[in-house]
A and B are shown apart, each in its own frame.
Chain A
């Protein structure tokens, strides 16, 4: 998947303004950014749903503007909303899409059974989708994207609005299809999601690429996670600062000391036992990941502007 200088205008606003992207086959690229950064616009252009106003893009070896039908045979799109039909059963949903992808009736049914099995929905195959849980619907939606074994999958905020367990289920399915060789372009507002799934992260800001790299590269750019220790007594602050190392920042008003850590849980264990050894009783110890806002602030130097159009 390749994009060069993509531009797209809505009325007066450039939703994309010179967007570049290169995703090697069989990898996952996470498109990260606040609402209005142009994530969805980029996905819709690459999935041939929007015409571009400038630049060029190639998906699965075909130009999205000139060879849209060829692109459509190779890609699948999973949008923010679920396209699952509530009234149909899980299997009927899959058979319908299979037929619309021009499989014969028998092929469509066989493929539906296969996918239900793969996505762990066999038991619910003949239940109406209305009775499915949020995670099951999402999985059914994903399954319907895989009918044609697409070489490229677009996932537009696949876990927005799902609880942690259901998010985990969706992540597992995404990892599975990637292992089978599918290229995935994923948009998300969640840093941990990109962290879990993506080989490469691209941060979008007002229609341009603000930063890109592997999750680790981006994190080190930001200083990664922080550990925060709160104590009861101001006298203990220097002791804690000593434990946390030379980068420790002391906030005497809040009785808080914080420092960047690279290895999360190991750091937590180390700090807890070191404090116990020194006889310091902490009021609170917490590990905190940088929020998307902080990432964004660090990378672009300004706060995320929410635009009307996502």
Chain B
């Protein structure tokens, strides 16, 4: 058990050193959300309507937080599939290290990375007019919910990462991008055509984003559907469902590497 903790820290440290030593990658990671905030907030923003009224930048920021979190799954599965491809995973497996450590280390590193992205985005948001209005405690709770979703997505990323080659992992953006747009991230689902609206309302990402809006006191909260009205509950439940499905699947897949 002690080794599980030590090992996961060692594995996480490896990733963190990567980020520190390759600032270009960190910069690229951070640049996308920052640029998006500027494009959507300042360029498209004036043409955007928030359903039920309210400032678009106030509406946008929680959506951006959500998209950043969802994109994180792409980097998780990239790292996992690269390690598997380069034989690093085999080395881990043939060593006496704690096998929990491998994945726990991955989670720690990814959560630290995502926290950093959220921090930069939040600072950027504060500069262009976003703010939280329900006190720091609720704001922290909102960030906690976002990271809870990130944690759940680590398991999705590990499972898929063990399944695909790095080349395929790179293509994951193609799926992630629409998945983060068919949601309440940039536009209220109320403004979408009927069927898409249902998809967007029940999109797990929407629940986390809506819950974050509520906790930050940002506009665009609520709606007619059960999903929209119970976003706080769903923001806790959806990630729990992901963990419940993908944790055992990942463990099974990892064990079956020896098939």
Residues of A within 8 A of B (CB): 44, 47-51, 69, 72-73, 75-77, 79-83, 85, 87-88, 92, 96-97, 99-102, 128
Binding site secondary structure of chain B = helix
**Contacting pair A81 B97 (CB below 8 A):** no
Nearest chain A residue, comparing its CB with the CB of B257: A49
User: Measured between alpha carbons, how far is A50 from B7 in the docked complex, in Å?
Assistant: 23
Asked if B94 is an interface residue, CB under 8 A from chain A, the answer is: yes
Whether A101 contacts B10 by the Cβ 8 Å rule is no
Interface string of B55-86 (1 = CB under 8 A from A): 00000000000000000000000000000011
A-contact bits for B1-27, CB 8 A (1 contact / 0 none): 001001100110110011001100000
CA distance A83 to B85 in the complex (A): 10
The docked-state distance in angstroms from the alpha carbon of A88 to that of B21 is 9
- Chain A residues whose C-beta falls within 8 Å of the C-beta of B17 in the assembled complex: 87-88, 92
Q: A85-B14, A100-B7 are in contact. Are A49 and B86 (CB under 8 A)?
A: no
- Number of A-B residue pairs at CB separation under 8 A: 70
B97 to A101, Cβ gap below 8 A?
yes
Q: Which of B91, B96, B258 contacts A102 (CB 8 A)?
A: B96
Residue of B nearest to A144 (CB): B91
Q: How far is the CB of A102 from chain B (nearest CB, A)?
A: 6
Q: Whose C-beta in chain B lies nearest to the C-beta of A147?
A: B95
Tell me if B144 is interfacial: C-beta within 8 Å of chain A.
Answer: no
Q: How many residues of B contact A (CB 8 A)?
A: 27
A83 touches B96 (CB 8 A): no
CB pair A75–B14 under 8 Å, yes or no, is no
Task: Report the nearest A residue to B86, measured CB to CB.
Answer: A81
Residue of A nearest to B94 (CB): A77
Q: Contact: A87 with B18, CB < 8 Å?
A: yes
Partner of B91, one of A50, A69, A73, A79: A79
Query: B87 near A: Cβ within 8 Å?
Result: yes
A102 and B3 within 8 A (CB): yes
- When the two chains form the complex, which single residue of B14, B94, B96, B257 contacts A47, counting CB atoms closer than 8 Å? B94
A77 x B91 contact (CB < 8 A): yes
Shortest beta-carbon contacts, A-B, top 10? A79-B87, A100-B97, A81-B87, A77-B94, A99-B10, A51-B258, A83-B91, A83-B88, A87-B18, A72-B96
